[in-house]
Amino acid sequence: MPIQTISGYQFRPSDLNLAGRTSGISAFLRTRNGADFVEATIRSHMPFYDEIVAVYNQCDDKTPQILARLAQEFGPKLRVFHYTDRVQPLGSKGHANTPGDHPESMVNYSNFALKETQHDVVVKLDDDHLAIPGRVAEICSTFRKGTADRRRFHCFSGLNVAYDGQGRLAVPAFELLSGNGDIGYFQIAPDTVFHHDRRFERFDRGRLKRMFAGYFYWHLKFLKSGAGFVNYELQSNPDSRFAKKKVEFDQTAMLDIKQAIAAITPGRMDRVSASTGGKLALNYGRDKAVAAAFPDASLEAALDRLSPDWRQVPGLGSPRG
């Protein structure tokens, strides 16, 4: 399908077109300079969804060409949009001071991608999520069979993956996990939209209560060009919280999978804190589940078991061309 261009769009909740949606699962993906892993992300998730909506912005790499090629291959299952307005980077004063319904806001950009989905169950993908296929298949099956609790926001997480100083795959100690209750599968509703926060685009779950559903992907951000920090425009935004995170990443220790699991697994005091409920309970459930999810002797063994095609991904298991 041809790439569609959008300029000057401003989101309205009615644009979600709830009455016109059909039964199925839609994913939406926003990307800027995602050429490193956007193809692997789309290919590893495409078998499980009825459609993926991919929206790109301010790309000066090969992302547009990759998406155009994939759109031809996948036809209506991959719908691609070029959002032409400059989107202010997260962590910048520009983002903090831009209203959420302005075309330059990450909030508006995100709501545009969300409203372009056509099915009643929706999930957000990032351009650096490599699927764990069996687990994605399981959660999608529960929605298709009608056994998923649609009153819930089904949160999921992934291990962060990086290279250590010897070129071996490892988990960065400063940030072991991706997915902190902010991404999940959900039944779309009038109030499941993005809102402005001076720090980021905040997704409003409406009436949906969160539950942890599992570990569904490998997070490849730190394997991207510039360790995934390029899009934050840190030279122009030296006070960005992402500038501090980059320093932490540059200085972090790299752990093997057994060390990472030990660091994530909660202790007795964590269990006591989780008894208060809310986000602490959600994170406790996530962290408690990690050992059973990754009992492997090495990160490579876990990838072999859970995502057996990983060695074919340029920049992860094979050199980039």
Mean pLDDT of 1-7: 93
pLDDT digits over 34-93, tens only? 999 999 999 999 999 999 999 999 999 999 999 999 999 999 999 999 999 999 999 999
Whether the predicted pLDDT of 277 surpasses 60: yes
Whether the predicted pLDDT of 321 surpasses 70: no
Whether the predicted pLDDT of 278 surpasses 80: yes
3-state secondary structure the chain: CCCEEECCCCCCHHHHCHHHCEEEEEEEEEECCCCCCHHHHHHHHHHHCCEEEEEECCCCCCHHHHHHHHHHHHHHHEEEEEECCCCCCCCCHHHHHCCCCCCCCHHHHHHHHHHCCCEEEEEEECCCEEECHHHHHHHHHHHHHCCCCCCEEEEEEEEECEECCCCCEEEECCCCEECCCCCEEEECCCCCCEEECCCCEEECCCCCEEEEEEEEEEECHHHCHHHHCHHHCCCCCCCCHHHHHHHHHHHCCEECHHHHHHHHCCCHHHHHHHCCCHHHHHHHHHHHCHHHHCCCCCHHHHHHHHCCCHHHCECCCECCC
Q: What is the mean pLDDT of the chain?
A: 96
pLDDT at 317: 84
Mean pLDDT of 173-199: 97
Whether the predicted pLDDT of 320 surpasses 80: no
pLDDT at 274: 85
pLDDT digits over 206-239, tens only? 999 999 999 999 999 999 999 999 999 999 999 9
Mean pLDDT of 295-310: 97
Whether the predicted pLDDT of 319 surpasses 80: no
Whether the predicted pLDDT of 173 surpasses 90: yes
**Global pTM?**
0.96
Whether the predicted pLDDT of 262 surpasses 90: yes
Q: How much of the chain exceeds pLDDT 90, in percent?
A: 93
